[in-house]
Structure 1
Amino acid sequence: MSEDRLNIKNDQVESPEVNPERPAEGADEQKKKDATLQAIQQLGQTNVPQLESNVFCMSIIGQVEGHLVMPPHNKTTKYEHIIPQIVAVEQNPKIEGMVVILNTVGGDVEAGLAIAEMIASMSKPTVSIVLGGGHSIGVPIAVAADTSFIAETATMTVHPVRLTGLVIGVPQTFEYLEKMQDRVIRFVSRHSNVTEEKFRELMFRTGDLARDIGTNVIGKDAVKYGLIDRVGGISDALAELNRMIAESKGEILQ
């Protein structure tokens, strides 16, 4: 009986040793799996190109979400996510310029103006490019950059400021709307080549939009009206941004 007990004890002692590094390896593998799963969920692919760049790419996609949270089925860009990114770009010495990619239907007016004002006040070179659409409050964000581009097939809808939900029908409400509208008009005319008169004309034009007043501007027309600087794609936008960065560093002789 004692020999059997001794053998059991010896078997327990002689069991394979646990490698202290294995739990860490297992944790690393789990982290990799979690990162891969997250990439698939967010980007639709298992990996993204990793590149050390002096240019930061900021995207304004879907609806600009302001103080009210949009329904979960809406594609949104939250302004509380965008504003810290702009601050980080301004402070990071490794980032020398920023390109803003827009494909937005518009959204919250004050949130959009806040983003536009921050882009316009940056000390580093900025370039924007409208792909697909830069509608409504996306117009001030597009023109806020130092140089703006629009794809040939992209559109921009210019229309008056609108409110959704419960509206109190008193004169003060309409005065507030008019003041907000004036803020948008002044900002756009100050940061683009369109005049206030022309922008108001585009904003209040009738007969162009089926269920609204305003104007749907496509590609070259946006440049013709002075809203956007040039027609071009991502390569044109990045080439211009790199040229502006080199000029700001004094690498281009005047």
Structure 2
Amino acid sequence: MMTQNTRRAPMSETEAPEQAPAVNPEPTALDTLKQLGQMNVPQGTESNIFCLTIIGQIEGHLVLPPQNKTTKYEHIIPQLVAAEQSKQVDGIMIILNTVGGDVEAGLAIAEMITSLTKPTVTVVVGGGHSIGVPIAVASTYSLIAESATMTIHPIRLNGLVIGVPQTFEYMEKMQERVVRFVTSHSRITEERFKELMFRTGELNRDIGTAVGGLDAVKYGLMDEVGGIGQALAKLNKLIDERKQPIEAEGITQ
């Protein structure tokens, strides 16, 4: 009786073995750094301080050219929300080095920072110009490097501008929003801030004032001249002060 040989021939060198379907790996910290310019929110035993960087030009509703170094506000807002609701994060430090950018996007970031319940400290290094000024003063405590500057000037419009009185009224109202926010979150008076904003002869191609680190503190715009070390020390102090009432309440209950 003849039987059929069912033994399979050996696999040739060119025949590839069957592979399991590819599984998308979880994004690493390096991937997050490349995409958002920001590390992940600390988890587990990592630092209890979340560091947020705002650099370059603040990009708002319009996408800027690819050669511009930008900070996208749609990236910043979810990071602030994640830091606020994270149980591992006790404080937030914002590193600011920006030339300004979209007014409404900058005000949105500033409003987000000032509405956080956790302690926040801002450090201006290099520069915190234009709409970066409201972001700089939005935190619980603000520091500026001695060599850093902050340019204060009136807002400007790009693109098509309709030459009617309503356009100028709109610009004036938006400018008042900026002035009101800065003066209500710092020690500078409205008169002094507007004086710096409308000063002529100091900026080469613009109206306004470039304020250095020492002058920013003298005018009451920033709280202290300092850098990362002083910022971390102040933030840790604010975190301890915030924890004390909570711990005391837990003991009395």
TM score, norm. by length of structure 1: 0.82
CA RMSD for the aligned pairs?
Answer: 3.3
Distance 1:43 1:77 in 2: 8
**Could you say which structure has the higher helix fraction?**
1
Distance 2:8 2:161 in 1: 83
Distance 1:155 1:109 in 2: 19
Q: Deviations over 1:106-154 (max 9, x none)?
A: 0000110011011111111000000101000000000000100001111
Q: Which residue of 1 aligns with 2:251?
A: none
Structure 2 contact 36–75 (Cα < 8 Å) conserved? no
Dislocated runs of 4+, deviation >2 Å: 9-13, 34-44
Tell me: CA distance 1:116–1:236, structure 2 relative to 1, closer, same or farther (3 Å).
same
1:110 aligns with 2:108: no
Distance 1:102 1:39 in 2: 19
Q: Which residue of 1 aligns with 2:10?
A: 12
For 1:1-254, list aligned pairs within 5 A: 12=10, 38=31, 52-250=46-244
**What SS does the aligned partner of 1:164 have?**
coil
Equivalenced residues, count: 238
Q: Deviations over 1:70-112 (max 9, x none)?
A: 1111111111111111111111121111001000000000110
Distance 1:112 1:198 in 2: 22
Distance 1:230 1:87 in 2: 27
Distance 1:35 1:244 in 2: 31
Tell me: CA distance 1:100–1:43, structure 2 relative to 1, closer, same or farther (3 Å).
closer
Q: Deviations over 1:159-191 (max 9, x none)?
A: 001011111111000000000000000100000
Q: Deviations over 1:189-210 (max 9, x none)?
A: 0000100000000000001100
Distance 2:127 2:84 in 1: 26
Query: How far has the Cα of 1:12 moved from its partner?
Result: 2.5
Unaligned runs of at least 5 residues, structure 2: 249-253
Letter in 1 for 2:51: C
Structure 2 contact 106–131 (Cα < 8 Å) conserved? yes
Letter in 1 for 2:177: R
Distance 2:49 2:102 in 1: 27
Letter in 2 for 1:87: V
Tell me: CA distance 1:67–1:40, structure 2 relative to 1, closer, same or farther (3 Å).
closer
Q: Percent identity?
A: 65
Letter in 1 for 2:226: G
TM score, norm. by length of structure 2: 0.83
Query: How far has the Cα of 1:53 moved from its partner?
Result: 1.1
Q: Deviations over 1:18-71 (max 9, x none)?
A: 999x979xx89x969x96985896799xxxx99701111111111111111111
**What SS does the aligned partner of 1:12 have?**
coil
Letter in 2 for 1:12: P
Unaligned runs of at least 5 residues, structure 1: 1-5
Tell me: CA distance 1:125–1:162, structure 2 relative to 1, closer, same or farther (3 Å).
same
Tell me: CA distance 1:137–1:39, structure 2 relative to 1, closer, same or farther (3 Å).
closer
